[in-house]
Every structure is written in C-alpha cells, then in structure tokens.
Amino acid sequence: MTPHILIEAITPAVDGGQYPAKAVVGDLCTVEADVFRDGHDAIFVQLCWRQAGSRAWNTTPMTHLGNDRWQGSFRPDENARYEYTIEGWTDHFATWLDGFTKKVQAKVNVSTERVEGELLFEHAAARAKARSQTALRTAAANLRKAKDSEAALSVVSEPKMRELMHANAAREDLVSHEPPLGLIVDRPLARFGAWYEMFPRSQGRTPGKAATLREAEARLPDVAAMGFDVVYLPPVHPIGLAHRKGRNNALRAAPGDPGSPWAIGNKGGGHDAVDPGLGTIKDFEHFVGACHDLNMEVALDYAIQCSPDHPWAKQHPEWFYQRPDGSIKYAENPPKKYEDVYFVNFDTPDKEPLWHALKEILEFWIDHGVKIFRVDNPHTKPFRFWQWVIEDLKAKHPELIFLAEAFTRPKVMKALAKLGFTQSYTYFTWRNTQQELVEYMTELSRSGMQQYFQPNFFTNTPDILPEILQQGGMPACKMRAVLAATLSPTYGIYSGFELGEHEPLPGREEYKDSEKYEIKVRDWNAAGNIKPLITRLNTIRKENPALHQLTNVEFLPTDNDKILFFAKRSEDGQNTLLIAVSLDPFWPQQTTAWVPPHLAGVGPGGRYEVRDLLSGEIYTWSEHNYIRLMPGDKPAHILRVERRF
C-alpha cells in the first residue's frame, strides 16, 4: 500500500538522531514529533521503545497536541542503552466514527455507514483473539440491529470499542521512523551528586610528609559527613623524576618535592600502578571499599600523558611525537612548557596497539573498583577514540560515568558530550553576573543541550582559582557554593574551598603554592570554615527533589541585578523552592522579588508560608516580597513553600 504518513521533527533527536540522547533511570522521557498524512483521514500514532538488543517493543499511544504535533512518554527502568521510534497508520475506525457521528447528529440517513461499520468490526474480529473476537462480532451485530441511528451511535462510541478496534486494526499503511533513535539511560549518580576533589598525599598531619592511601582514609568520614557522594582523586600513579617540577611549577624540583601527579610513570610503573608513596593496589582497593562503606564512590583521574620515565617511553617510543633527532617532544602550551610530560601520538602508525593499551588502562581500574573517571583534557585527543572506547566499555559496564574536563570551545565541549561523555565541566566558573548566569543556564536547560549535555558545576579546581574567589574571599565562596549546589544537579568543590583558600599567583587564575606541586597539611576544622554551610547544602539537595533536575529552573524578576532569583519545582509539583542568591561578596543587597502565584500554588493575591532551609526562618509571602542579603552572614535564601493560606 502507498504510504500516506510522514513523521518529522522528532525530539529528542541529537543531530537528527546521529547521537543518542541521555536520561537516568526513572526519568519520564517525553518524545514529540510532527506526524501527518495527506487527505482528511484520521491517523493513529504510537511511541515504541525497548532496550537495545531486545526483540519486542513496548508501545504507548501518543497524544495529539495540535497542528500535527504528537507527544508520548515512557520511563526506562534500567541502566542500559535504549532505542525508541514512532509509528503511525491510518485509523480507519476513527475516520469512519467521526463521519458517522456527524451524520447522526445532522439527522442524515446512515444505513450505508452502518454497513461500513459492521464490516470494520468483522474485519477486526477476523484478526482478533478469541475473547476479543466475540466482543467485536457482538458489536457488529448490535450495530446492525440497533433500532435507530442514535442507538447505533451509542453502540460504537463506547471507549471499550475504541480500544478493541485499535488493538485489532488493519495497519496496511503503517509507517515507522527508521532507524530507531538511541537513548543512554544512566544510573541516577550520573545526573545528581556532589563531588569532592582531594589529593590523598595531602591528607596527613605532618608538614612535608605525604600521607598514604590508608592514612588518607581517616579523612573520608569528614568528607562523607559534609554529604558528598563522589571522592575524586588526581592520578595515583608513580610520578616521574626527569624534569620533575618544583613548587609553584618551578622548572627544577628541590630535594623532597613530590612532583605533579599528572607527570605519570617511572621505573615503578605507569598508568596501571600505584605510587609507592601512596601504597599498593591493595591499599587502593581498600580506599575504594572505605568510600563505599560511607556511601561514596571514587572517581579516578584518567590522564593520557606520560613522564619521560614512563615505561612506554622506552618500550614504545613510536607512540609519542618524535623530533627529527629521534628525541621525544615534550608538552607545551606557550608560554608554558611541560618538560615533565610527553603527549601520546594518536596518529602513530602503531595506532591500534596504542588505542587498545589506553583502553586496557581503564579496564584495569574498573577491575579494581572504579566506576567513575574524570578525564583530563579530552578535547586534545581524537573524537573517534572517545566514541570507540566509551561505547565499548559502557556496553560491558553501563554503570560507568565519564566526566570531561574540557574547558575549551563550546562546540568541542558539546561534541564530546554527544560522543559519550556522561558529564562535563562548564563555564559556570566564569559566569558571575545575573545576566551571565541566566543566559548560561537557559542555554544548558532550554537550547537542546539538555538532551545530551549534563553539567558538573565545579566552584574551583587545582588549576583554576577564578577571579571572583580571589577578590571576594570567604563571602564569595559561600555564594558560589549556593549557586553551584542549587543551579546544577551535579556540582563539586576542590579541597581547601571549604577553608576559604583564595590566594593566587600574582596576575594568574591559579593558586599560590599549588597542591599540584607540593604536599599540603591543613587544619580541616580551622576557624571560619564553611563546612556547616556545605553540609547543609548537601542535605537540602538530597531532601528536595526539585534540586535533582536541571531543566526545571525558572528565573524570576527582581529590581536589583545583584541578586539572582529563581524557582525550582519537582516533577510531581509537591516540592517548590524559591532561591535568592547575592552576587555581591562585598556589600549588602536588597530587592523586591516577584513570584507568579501559580508557582506557589495559590490564586492571585494568595499568601503562603515559606521556610528558609538554610536558617530555619519562616516568612509569609505573596506576589511581591522583600529580600535583603548580607555578604558572609546571609548570602542566600533557599525557601521551600510549605503552607498556603
């Protein structure tokens, strides 16, 4: 039969379906499409989905939204790869029923239409199973015997008849969108979680003495008590000696300088070894187990680079960039020089063994309990490599999470997310004004990026001490922590942030006395720390489903651009938060904030009670509300709507 139906403009469909969309287990995945046919006949449209590799499809009818736009939803219930498509066919029964109804209402003779209806029921019965066969044939008989047109219409208008006819309808002109579209369904931690970055060697108590992994475990209860879900470790591998960097990235190391963990490899091993100063692989496994006992997971840095002492430099010099004189080229980012690091050459003629060796590194750490990898500078490696290695590993281990440290051009960041990275660092670090934050959040949550790009809002990193923290000190740390924790379902801090560390190298966005090049010893309970705030933020996040989503953010107007004001509501509408954050770490700020009544679940002029989840204070609010925020003392309100009057 000639196809009459067209299916167009499906969403989500990342780059027209070239890449899979993303979701987490339990999400309501809503699919829309334009579906229409020539002529005036009615059509039936359904959404079909299944786990990739399954034979049978699940189906659900789609709802007509108007203007040939249709919508349907499903909830994937497993951490796996799914696929979905849309089917449409001419709905002969609906077409006949619409015409029959109009003629009956117009008092037109419908004897011919009644015969047509009987035939539709009989044809459906011929395709039906025994129980449905009886019901359909009874309907045909009742249609034939009905004493008048109104009675006949009553017979065929029952919802049960519509269901039976749909289930057993002829679908001669069925059209299915091909190929099916992909959907990666990750576990919930892929979207919602709090990350804490720490150097194990700096968790000791003796200045200049590196802590072992076993000693670093003593710090884990403190991290868990703050409410973190992920402990992210920089590389734990042996560190090279050749051209080892000294303090503050000095070209020469002094005796006892530990070197950068990103200068990977020495005679003790490479990427599949643990630095002896930290312990053994058994100690690493014990550390992972200690995290699990505290309901946390370990994320491990995956950095594809080697020190000149790495075993590969001797075993496989062809895997690196070589100068004309045969020496290996070290890494450079002018004016910076990284003589302690070699980058691998992905285009080496010996490419296949290299790529497999790099995958084997990940497999090694997976076997030792790692399910989360933070990938260092993925934008400097081939896209095709990431697509290959992530697809291959997630097919065997769907629980894996990959975080892209890609502070790079927007299109490159987006491409890495499409190719398989679960999460990405973002530009949040440099978005400070109300306009910047609103525009960036709108891009992340409304532009289509939300179909595949899941942000991780780190407030700081060992490489990046943003200007706002340098200038604003502890008050800036407080407000940035609230922003990161409430705007994005996933956020992170680098250790020392909770102590307000903010001294930079002069003129640089880098920490003075960087932990990358020396061992730190800190008093984690030093006066003035913001551990109580961070603990409270993480508790609020876990207790309020409204903060588990990205796309539900709704920015609300104020008369002061130094205050960001927004709402978040849970999917079921039972959890509504109104959040105001000062963007000024120096001076008090005040504003009148407007809340549309429907957001609070009241009518025009209605009043309601809100509780500040940070302070415990209770306020009565309406459409227009006064807010005053103080740097340091009261940088934000996180208000939960609790009672309507």
Tokens of 204: 């000791």
Contact 625, 595 (CB under 8 A): yes
How many other β-carbons are positioned within 10 Å of the β-carbon of residue 111? Answer: 9
E-only strand ranges, 250-313: 297-302, 305-306
Class level of CATH domain 5-185: mainly beta
DSSP assignment of 85-100, as one string? EEEEEE-HHHHHHHHH
All residues at 6 or more sequence positions from 121 whose CB lies less than 8 Å from its CB, including other chains: 136, 137, 139, 140, 143, 165
Tokens of 165: 């006819």
5-185 matches 548-644 in fold: yes
Distance, in Å, from the CA atom of 425 to the CA atom of 379, rounded to the nearest integer, reads 12
Q: What is the mean pLDDT of each run of 10 residues along the chain (645 residues)?
A: 89 97 97 97 97 96 97 98 97 94 94 93 91 90 91 90 89 95 98 98 93 98 98 98 93 94 97 98 98 98 97 96 90 80 95 98 98 97 98 98 96 98 98 98 98 98 97 98 98 98 95 96 97 98 98 97 98 97 98 96 96 97 97 96 94
Distance of CA 277 to the CA centre of its chain: 35
How many other β-carbons are positioned within 10 Å of the β-carbon of residue 399? Answer: 14
* pLDDT tens by residue, 546-558: 999 999 999 999 9
Distance, in Å, from the CA atom of 626 to the CA atom of 592, rounded to the nearest integer, reads 5
pLDDT at site 338? 80
* pLDDT tens by residue, 329-363: 988 877 777 889 999 999 999 999 999 999 999 99
If we measure between CA atoms, which residue out of 465, 437, 442 comes closest to residue 583? 437
Alpha helices in 24-182 (DSSP H): 92-105, 111-127, 130-145, 149-156, 159-167
Q: What is the mean pLDDT of the chain?
A: 96
Please confirm, yes or no, whether 148 is among the known catalytic residues: no
Domain ranges (residues) in the chain = 5-185, 193-238+270-302+350-544, 239-269+305-343, 548-644
Distance, in Å, from the CA atom of 560 to the CA atom of 433, rounded to the nearest integer, reads 11
Alpha helices in 488-631 (DSSP H): 531-543, 597-600
Q: What is the SS3 assignment for 461-482?
A: CCCCCCHHHHHHHHHHHHHHHH
All residues at 6 or more sequence positions from 447 whose CB lies less than 8 Å from its CB, including other chains: none
pLDDT at site 1? 64
All residues at 6 or more sequence positions from 281 whose CB lies less than 8 Å from its CB, including other chains: 273, 274, 368
* pLDDT tens by residue, 124-153: 999 998 889 999 999 899 899 988 999 999
Catalytic residue among 91, 376, 498, 584: 376
Q: What is the SS3 assignment for 515-550?
A: CCCCCCCCCCCCCCCCHHHHHHHHHHHHHCHHHHCC
Beta bridge partners of 320: 344
Give me the helix-helix angle, 149-156 and 92-105, nearest 10°: 150
Contact 510, 247 (CB under 8 A): no
pLDDT at site 326? 84
Fold of 548-644: Immunoglobulin-like (2.60.40)
Catalytic residue among 91, 405, 501, 518: 405
- Count CA atoms within 13 Å of residue 383 on its CB side: 9
Distance, in Å, from the CA atom of 90 to the CA atom of 3, rounded to the nearest integer, reads 10
Distance, in Å, from the CA atom of 533 to the CA atom of 567, rounded to the nearest integer, reads 20
Distance of CA 509 to the CA centre of its chain: 27
All residues at 6 or more sequence positions from 5 whose CB lies less than 8 Å from its CB, including other chains: 35, 36, 37, 43, 88, 89, 90, 173, 175
Please confirm, yes or no, whether 376 is among the known catalytic residues: yes
pLDDT at site 615? 97
pTM for this prediction: 0.95
All residues at 6 or more sequence positions from 481 whose CB lies less than 8 Å from its CB, including other chains: 459, 493, 497, 530, 533, 534, 537
Class level of CATH domain 193-238+270-302+350-544: alpha beta
Q: What is the SS3 assignment for 163-187?
A: HHHHHCCCCCCCEECCCCEEEEEEC
Distance, in Å, from the CA atom of 135 to the CA atom of 261, rounded to the nearest integer, reads 73
All residues at 6 or more sequence positions from 255 whose CB lies less than 8 Å from its CB, including other chains: none
